[in-house]
Amino acid sequence: MELKIEAILAEKAGKACKELFGELPAEKQLQIQPTRKDFKGDYTLVVFPLTRLAGKSPEQTAEAIGEQLQKDCSFINSYNVVKGFLNLELTGAFWKDSFEKIFSREDYGFQAAAGDELPYLVEYSSPNTNKPLHLGHIRNNLIGYSVASILKANGHNVVKTNIVNDRGIHICKSMLAWQKWANGETPDSAGMKGDLLVGNYYVRFDKEFKKQVAGMLEQGMSEEEAGKKAPLMAEAQQMLKDWEAGKPEVLNLWEKMNSWVYKGFDETYRRLGVDFDKIYYESETYKHGRELVEKALKEKVLFTKENGSVWVDLRDEGLDEKLLLRADGTAVYMTQDLGTAVQRYEDNNGFESHIYVVGNEQNYHFQVLKIVLKKMGFDWSDKLYHLSYGMVELPEGKMKSREGTVVDADDLMDEMIKTARDMSEELGKLDGYTDQEKKKIYTQIGMGALKYFILKIDPRKNMTFNPRESVDFNGNTGPFIQYTHARIKSVLRKAREQGLSWEAEAGSGYGEPVALLDKEKELVKILLNFREVVSEAGLQFSPALIANYCYELVKEYNQFYHDHTILGEKDELQRKFRLRLSELTGRVINTGMGLLGIEVPDRM
């Protein structure tokens, strides 16, 4: 990976200090940062930490270092001093040479694969088979898929994983409701996706259960007691026991309903544009978890209570006691997560990191998971990382699965595409396109709007999703970025139609004769920063850094496009440079948005 410009300048400034003051400053004393826009210069050296070496005032120190740097570095054009800050302006040739290097790289922004590196496991989605994917799942899937793509771009070996929560009391609730009230209804007979059908019966269970609880409350029973003794809940709990005992009729019903759900999930994943390298199922990994719990119990890492339930004592870690197996022998979520983590470690012969993309309501769960694995002797538990993301709400508030107030992922995607169509028609942006072309572009705009609006927010923050606001063709939105990409493609198409080329001829001295204007230089500077943004996004597991970089890039390009003619430029070298600048900007937009899973149309 190439050295950052800041690192090069820091090294040069250190050598200048050694030459001037006889001592090489510590790395932390050499603070280089981009120059503020209201001052002349490209990069600024903060001089205050260096005054002790110089034995001079900040201004005198800055002047001395500036003069030495200009003498030693041919790429420094000029300098100026503002109090304790040394502002350095680099030459146009430096910026053009730097631009040429990245322009020639088809894979610009990507780091070469390490090869034999242990994988980064990224777990996302984690759906329950009692309901369809909803808006919350969309944020989860988009973050996970994008983080995996960003890690790959940084040269890491990545395995995208999913854990399907296909067992437990919530699954039994939808199964029991279907058994009681479906009259044999299937996805085909109902004309709906299987995950939606099963989800409807989960909602039905909750409604019927609340009716039973209300009746028991009227009889004077407490709410807690009524919740435990309601006949429906008792039946669901018995069904869970029968499932874990392998009762054939329960397993057959479970397999049938899950097959409906998986087919529905696959369709939603395809539309959303996400996939997985390996899918695990809780119905399998919980068994491994139980074995781990039983082994740890024998080794006295865990303990049992009077009712036979198995617990781990975490009070020495500042937490409390955590249940691992219920009194009736059934497993809890923690049990399966223990089994899944160990299974994945074994399947991959280890991992560099295991990243769980799971909402922040599970912070405590993952804190406990790491500690319990450590107590069981798995020192690699330190490699588990919970990418804790915030909740996503609609303008009208929170969603609740049991009450059927969630926004179905498929419905939302349909709405986004419809909104994109309505706004495009209103603006007349696709006049003259065929119906098939329009349909494809509506989908690209609608899905791009959805993905960008969600991913531009720091994953750790809560967010409110506003569908119409996300499809705006102006401002920090996906369509605005897509439209800029289409604009660039249009410029390049017209250039080819006019027989123009923009390749640099070897040895032509292409870089020097063209004066680099301010808007051109600012655009080059942002393009040069792309590799660093991709690297930082990988370190922080933050697609938002990529998203907002893309927005800043298109803003700068649009200002350049507004201020300077491209095809009409009379100077051939100047025109060639602007076309090359446009081409690379388009490529970087395509690459950056691709890391977010967003397609950018060539025409809009």
Average pLDDT of span 239-266: 96
Going across the sheet that includes 303-304, the strands are 303-304, 310-313, 321-325
What residues have CB less than 8 Å from 112, skipping those under 6 apart? Answer: 155
Q: Bridge partners of 159?
A: 121
Give how far Cα 332 sits from Cα of 50, 310, 544, Å: 59, 11, 34
Q: Is 128 helix (H, G, I), strand (E, B) or coil?
A: strand
Q: Which amino acid is at 580?
A: R
Give the separation between CA 568 and CA 575, rounded to whole angstroms.
8
Write down the pLDDT at residue 593: 98
Write down the pLDDT at residue 604: 85
Least confident of 278-292, 342-356, 421-435: 421-435
Write down the pLDDT at residue 406: 67
* pTM, rounded to two decimals: 0.91
State the pLDDT confidence band at 394, using cuts at 50, 70 and 90. Answer: confident
Write down the pLDDT at residue 516: 86
Pick the CATH number of 5-90 from 3.10.129.10, 3.40.50.970, 3.40.50.620, 3.30.1360.70: 3.30.1360.70
Tracing tokens 């690192």 back to the chain, one arrives at 7
- Rounded to the nearest 5 degrees, what angle is found at the Cα of 293, between the Cα atoms of 291 and 296? 110
pLDDT in tens, 101-131: 999 998 999 998 877 789 999 999 999 999 9
Residue 22 in this model has a pLDDT that exceeds 90: yes
Q: Considering the chain, what is the average pLDDT of its residues?
A: 92
b/e code 153-178 from CB counts within 10 Å (16+ = b): bbbbbbbbbbbbbbbbebbbbbbbbb
Domain ranges of the chain: 5-90, 124-393, 409-595
Give how far Cα 229 sits from Cα of 202, 224, 251, 433, Å: 19, 9, 25, 63
pLDDT in tens, 195-242: 999 999 999 999 999 999 999 999 999 998 998 899 999 999 999 999
Average pLDDT of span 141-170: 96
First-residue to last-residue Cα distance in the chain: 36
Write down the pLDDT at residue 577: 94
Write down the pLDDT at residue 363: 96
Residue 243 in this model has a pLDDT that exceeds 60: yes
Give the separation between CA 458 and CA 469, rounded to whole angstroms.
18
Q: What are phi and psi of 390, to 5 degrees?
A: -80, 165
Give the separation between CA 340 and CA 354, rounded to whole angstroms.
11
pLDDT in tens, 511-556: 445 678 999 999 999 999 999 999 999 999 999 999 999 999 999 9
Give the separation between CA 351 and CA 222, rounded to whole angstroms.
49
Average pLDDT of span 298-313: 95
Average pLDDT of span 47-73: 95
More confident residue, 396 or 236: 236
Where is 278: in which H helix or E strand? strand 278-281
The token pair at 255 is 């397999």
Q: Which of these, 71, 40, 66, lies nearest to 54 by C-alpha position?
A: 66
Residue 270 in this model has a pLDDT that exceeds 80: yes
State the pLDDT confidence band at 398, using cuts at 50, 70 and 90. Answer: low
Q: What are phi and psi of 297, to 5 degrees?
A: -65, -45
State the pLDDT confidence band at 1, using cuts at 50, 70 and 90. Answer: very low
Q: What are phi and psi of 397, to 5 degrees?
A: 125, -165
Write down the pLDDT at residue 433: 86
* Other C-beta atoms lying within 10 Å of the C-beta of residue 127: 25
Write down the pLDDT at residue 401: 46
HEC assignment per residue over 266-318: HHHHHHHCCCCCEEEEHHHHHHHHHHHHHHHHHCCCCEECCCCCEEEECHHHC
- Contact between 597 and 149 under an 8 Å Cβ cutoff? The reply is yes
Give how far Cα 137 sits from Cα of 282, 381, 486, Å: 18, 26, 30
DSSP state letter for 119: P
- Rounded to the nearest 5 degrees, what angle is found at the Cα of 416, between the Cα atoms of 451 and 486? 65
Tracing tokens 């039946």 back to the chain, one arrives at 235
Residue 595 in this model has a pLDDT that exceeds 70: yes
State the pLDDT confidence band at 445, using cuts at 50, 70 and 90. Answer: very high
- Contact between 154 and 538 under an 8 Å Cβ cutoff? The reply is yes
Pick the CATH number of 124-393 from 3.40.50.620, 3.30.70.260, 3.40.50.1000, 3.40.50.720: 3.40.50.620
Q: Which of these, 380, 316, 186, lies nearest to 264 by C-alpha position?
A: 186
Write down the pLDDT at residue 2: 54
Write down the pLDDT at residue 37: 87
State the pLDDT confidence band at 402, using cuts at 50, 70 and 90. Answer: very low
Write down the pLDDT at residue 506: 45
More confident residue, 9 or 466: 9
The percentage of the chain sitting over the pLDDT mark of 90, rounded to a whole number, equals: 83
Write down the pLDDT at residue 405: 54
> What is the assigned CATH class of domain 409-595?
mainly alpha
The token pair at 480 is 């605005």
More confident residue, 465 or 251: 251
